[in-house]
Amino acid sequence: MSKITVAIDGYSSCGKSTLAKALAQKLNYNYIDTGAMYRAVTLYCLRNNIIVNSVVNLPMLLENLSAIQVSFVYNNITKSSEVFLNGEHVEKDIRTLEVANHVSKIASIKEVREKMVSLQREMGKHKGVIMDGRDIGTHVFPDAELKLFMTADNDVRAQRRLDELMSKGEHHTLDEVKHNIEKRDHDDTTRKESPLIQAKDAIVLDNTDLSKEEQLNYVVKLIDDFLLTKDTLVN
């Protein structure tokens, strides 16, 4: 059966990567977490004093951009692609609240986006890919066969993210996490470069009251229906 491109965009912490990972495993597709790429660049900036006191030294970042290599390697144990920064596995280090607090600023920089988008297009050029982010259906793959726009209630999203951080040993308050999510949504939707907007042909998926299994089944059915219609039209 032919493979398609699935673009998943949406607000912060509404389960895009959970859905994308499960879909990729079920369909034997490649999963690319584009947020992880912007997080890896942010981690590099924090580690190399390109971000100091929350201020980004733009000339220094641009000077270093060609030295920042972001890649993915498939992990057979977690059954998912994991992100590497200049050859170092950073999957855990990029998930801290510190990185989350600075990533929107880094993701708003034109040159950073150009570099990441070109990598993303290269990684997805053979289809059979599930890519999640903020601009996948609108900018990276505007011709994706299936576009989803995910959302969920703010309190539910904050609680889910807090649980995830706690399970990794990071302790924060619900208010702190909610503030981070709302600030990122605001920054991501109002920035000049490829802001987060719903693609005209995207299907909205509000998972406030859906379990992981329910949302996975719903999307698998959408893909099955799409492929069936396509194959019927071709034959």
Choose the stretch contacting ligand DC; rule: CB under 6 A; options: 60-68, 70-78, 128-136, 145-153.
128-136
Task: Evaluate whether 96 touches 170 at the Cβ level (below 8 Å).
Answer: yes
Task: Evaluate whether 130 touches 32 at the Cβ level (below 8 Å).
Answer: yes
User: Nearest distance from residue 127's CB to ligand DC, in Å?
Assistant: 18
Choose the stretch contacting ligand DC; rule: CB under 6 A; options: 85-93, 101-109, 121-129, 143-151.
101-109
Q: Which two tokens stand for residue 80?
A: 């998912």
User: Nearest distance from residue 37's CB to ligand DC, in Å?
Assistant: 7
Contacts of 145 (CB under 8 A, 6+ apart): 4, 5, 6, 226, 230
Residues 12-51 that bind ligand DC (CB under 6 A): 12, 34-35, 38-39
User: Nearest distance from residue 220's CB to ligand DC, in Å?
Assistant: 22
The nearer residue to ligand DC, 91 or 135, going by C-beta atoms, is 135
Burial of 175 (0-12, 13-18, 19+ CB in 10 A): exposed
Query: Distance between the two ends of the chain, CA-based, in angstroms?
Result: 13
Contacts of 66 (CB under 8 A, 6+ apart): none
Residues 181-220 that bind ligand DC (CB under 6 A): 184, 188
148 binds ligand DC (CB under 6 A): no
User: Nearest distance from residue 169's CB to ligand DC, in Å?
Assistant: 19
Query: Which residues contact ligand DC (rule: CB under 6 A)?
Result: 12, 34-35, 38-39, 103-104, 107, 133-136, 184, 188
